Amino acid sequence: MSLVLYEAEGAIGFLTINRPEALNALNADVLDALDKALDQVDQNVIRCLIVTGSGEKSFVAGADIAQMSTLTKAEAEAFSKKGNDVFRRLETFPIPSIAAVNGFALGGGCELAMACDMRICSDNAMFGQPEVGLGITPGFGGTQRLERLVSPGMAKQMVLAARNIKADEALRIGLVNAVYPQEELMAAAKKLAGAIAANAPIAVRASKQAMNEGIDLPMDEAVVVEEKCFGSCFETHDQKEGMGAFLEKRKEKTFTNS
């Protein structure tokens, strides 16, 4: 059975980490499977991705400690690079992604969720970076993305004290966008994905690119990125269709990603 399932439903793609017997813990094989699953996404058709975990207990409980425990320094650095390469690919993937966090999102699971563009979670979700309690640091971007998403002080508290937080606190500090009862989580994820998919794909992807590339730049450089992304949308079918519908006062729009 595949360690990562990929399914498409209309314009929405679903990536499911499928290792429920290990609470969907990440190992090298799972990372490879996630990378290959991204290869399956038809970027001409899919307009939003939903990333989730198999079962009701866990999104991803972390990286596989049994596999990591015997690594040498060089092997550990290579494993960290493998995870970072895959997560960075997801983060910079042209198509927006939503993490639908169902249960535990610890260590590598929290890092996978943070590599997605948006995060929503079930009311039983738990987030954390517990690595220092195991004698290591976060290795798949946790020391970098967390303090970009929440305050540096809160990020350092979570990492340095190995402090897990529940769904309500994750919402309060801005780590997630919304919290839902577990039975409503996937419907909410599909609704959000549908709202994104209804918009012009060229504009959505250019907006994601502008935000991703601009966030770490000085403002004078960041607005140049925006200007180029703004200009890239013009002379496209989708720009003419969107503006034409507005001027003609019609609700129906046909965006073709062209």
Tell me the C-alpha distance between 61 and 6, whole Å: 20
Count the Cβ atoms, other than its own, within 10 Å of residue 244: 11
pLDDT of the residue at 56: 87
pLDDT tens, residue by residue, 192-215: 999 999 999 999 999 999 999 999
Write down all domains in the chain, each with its CATH number in brackets.
4-197 (3.90.226.10), 201-247 (1.10.12.10)
pLDDT tens, residue by residue, 166-191: 999 999 999 999 999 999 999 999 99
Tell me the C-alpha distance between 52 and 40, whole Å: 17
Percent of the chain with pLDDT strictly greater than 70 = 100
Question: What is Dmax (Cα atoms) for the chain?
Answer: 65
**If you average pLDDT over every residue of the chain, what do you get?**
97
pLDDT of the residue at 1: 73
pLDDT tens, residue by residue, 3-61: 999 999 999 999 999 999 999 999 999 999 999 999 999 999 999 999 999 998 999 99
Q: Average pLDDT in the 70-77 region?
A: 96
pLDDT of the residue at 102: 96
pLDDT tens, residue by residue, 46-67: 999 999 999 989 999 988 898 8
- For the annotated catalytic residues, the residue numbers are 111, 131
Beta bridge partners of 166: 126
Tell me the C-alpha distance between 29 and 13, whole Å: 21
